[in-house]
Amino acid sequence: VDTEDQTQLTELMEPLHAADIADLLEQLNSYDRARLIRLYDREFDGDILSELDESIREEVIATLRPQVLADAVRELESDDVVDLIEDLEEPQQEAILDALEDSDRVAVEQAMAWPEGSAGRLMQREVVMAPEHWNVGQAIDHLRNSDELPEQFYHIVLVDPRMHPIGNVTLGKLMGSRREVPLIDLTEDMFRVIPATQDEEDVAYAFNQYHLISAPVVDEEGRLAGVITIDDAMAVLDEEHEEDILRLAGVSDDSSLSDSVADTAKRRLPWLAVNLLTAILASLVISQFEETLSKFVALAVLMPIVASMGGNAGTQSLTVAVRALATKDLTGANVWRVIRREVVVGLLNGLVFAVSMGIIGLVWFNSPIIGYVIAVAMVINLMVAGLAGTVIPVVMDKMGVDPALASGTFVTTVTDVVGFFAFLGLAGMVMM
Return the number of the residue (138 or 208) whose C-beta is nearest a second copy: 208
Residue 432 interacts with a second copy (CB under 8 A): yes or no: no
Return the number of the residue (4 or 231) whose C-beta is nearest a second copy: 231
Contact between 235 and 135 under an 8 Å Cβ cutoff? The reply is no
Residue 331 interacts with a second copy (CB under 8 A): yes or no: yes
Residue 407 interacts with a second copy (CB under 8 A): yes or no: no
Residue 170 interacts with a second copy (CB under 8 A): yes or no: yes
Q: Candidates 68-76, 157-165, 220-228, 335-343 — which segment interacts with a second copy by CB under 8 A?
A: 335-343
Residue 1 interacts with a second copy (CB under 8 A): yes or no: no
- Chain residues 190-209 in contact with a second copy, contact rule CB under 8 A: 190, 207-209
Q: How far is the CB of 187 from a second copy (least distance, A)?
A: 14
Residue 338 interacts with a second copy (CB under 8 A): yes or no: yes
- Chain residues 38-97 in contact with a second copy, contact rule CB under 8 A: none
Binding residues for a second copy, rule CB under 8 A, total 111
The secondary structure of 206-230, three-state, reads HHHHHCCCEEEEECCCCCEEEEEEH
Residue 360 interacts with a second copy (CB under 8 A): yes or no: yes
Contact between 338 and 416 under an 8 Å Cβ cutoff? The reply is no
Q: What share of the chain is helix, strand, coil (3-state, %, to 5)?
A: 70, 5, 25
Q: How far is the CB of 49 from a second copy (least distance, A)?
A: 15
End-to-end CA distance of the chain: 73
Contacts for 118 with CB less than 8 Å, ≥ 6 apart: 196, 197, 198, 199, 200
* Per-residue binding letters, 283-312, with a second copy (x by CB under 8 A): x--xx--x--xx--xx-xxxxxx-xxx--x
Edge-to-edge strand ranges of the sheet holding 155-159? 129-131, 155-159, 165-170
Return the number of the residue (113 or 297) whose C-beta is nearest a second copy: 297
Distance from C-alpha of 406 to C-alpha of 247, rounded to nearest angstrom = 7
DSSP string, 159-195: E-TT--EEEEEEHHHHHHS-TTSBGGGG--S----EE
Residue 355 interacts with a second copy (CB under 8 A): yes or no: no
What is residue 3's DSSP assignment?
Answer: T
How many CB atoms lie under 10 A from the CB of residue 29?
A: 8
Quote the longest CA-to-CA distance of the chain.
93
Q: Which helix (H) or strand (E) holds 202?
A: helix 200-210
Residue 363 interacts with a second copy (CB under 8 A): yes or no: no
Which one of 144, 161, 162, 336 is in contact with a second copy (CB under 8 A)?
144
Residue 134 interacts with a second copy (CB under 8 A): yes or no: no
Strand-pairing partners, residue 270, are none
Residue 359 interacts with a second copy (CB under 8 A): yes or no: no
Residue 282 interacts with a second copy (CB under 8 A): yes or no: yes
Return the number of the residue (40 or 420) whose C-beta is nearest a second copy: 420
Residue 213 interacts with a second copy (CB under 8 A): yes or no: yes
Return the number of the residue (10 or 210) whose C-beta is nearest a second copy: 210
Which one of 66, 137, 172, 368 is in contact with a second copy (CB under 8 A)?
172
